[in-house]
Amino acid sequence: MSLKDQITEDMKTAMRAKDSARLGTIRLLQAAMKQKEVDERVSLDDVAVIAIVDKLIKQRKDSITAYEQAGRADLAAVEAAEIEVLKVYLPARLSANEIDAEVRAIVAELGASGPGDMGKVMGAVKTRLAGKADMGQVSVAVKAALA
């Protein structure tokens, strides 16, 4: 079953269970997926769906930061709950050690050295680790490897 089909089934399950918080989050995800399909006139595969989920999680994390700075713990809690629903659709993430090992291997393959090669390394890393790792952690690992 594709990830897209799994999301649809989860939406139906949430409807039956009358789980409004989960249902709302899944509907937001489906709306983002549909928007991407309409804008680009494509049918999304699992990799594209994972990229959308990553983007939505990043948006929620940014919102949590803003809400906490504004003293709105109630709204931050809602965003955190949405993140937990969205995380279900992500594959298992690589650990920090695994990310470091992958980044070092890519740096060695490309023969990169110094901060000037960051763009070249990040391009290769993004294609290889898309959906498997948090790109914020990857960026830190690349900077450390090129330092």
Residues 27 and 53 placed together within one structural domain of the fold: yes
Same domain (yes/no): 78, 105: no
CATH of the domain at 41: 1.10.1510.10
| Residue 89: strand, helix, or coil | coil
| Rounded Cα distance, 138 and 134, in Å | 6
H helices within the chain, ranges in order?
3-17, 20-40, 46-69, 73-87, 96-110, 118-129, 135-146
pTM of the model: 0.77
Query: Are the beta carbons of 60 and 84 closer than 8 angstroms?
Result: no
Domains contained in the chain, number? 2
What is the per-residue pLDDT for 55? 92
| pLDDT score of 31 | 96
- Same-domain status, 9 and 79: yes
How far apart (Å, rounded) are the C-alpha atoms in residues 85 and 72?
21
Least confident of 55-59, 60-64, 114-118, 120-124: 114-118
| CATH number for position 103 | 1.10.10.410
DSSP state of 91: P
Domain holding 117, by residue range, is 96-146
Judge if 30 and 76 occupy the same domain. yes
Shared-domain flag, residues 105 and 76: no
- Asked if residue 83 and residue 12 are part of one domain, the reply reads yes
Note the pLDDT tens digit of each residue in 48-94. 898 899 899 999 999 999 999 999 999 999 999 999 999 999 888 88
Q: Are residues 44 and 106 in the same domain?
A: no
Residues 56 and 25 in one domain: yes
Any idea which residue has 């899944």 for tokens?
26
SS3 36: helix
Last-in-domain residue among 87, 105, 129: 87
Within this chain, do residues 14 and 52 fall inside the same structural domain, yes or no? yes
Shared-domain flag, residues 26 and 74: yes
Say yes or no: 67 and 100 in one domain.
no
- Domain co-membership, 77 together with 16: yes
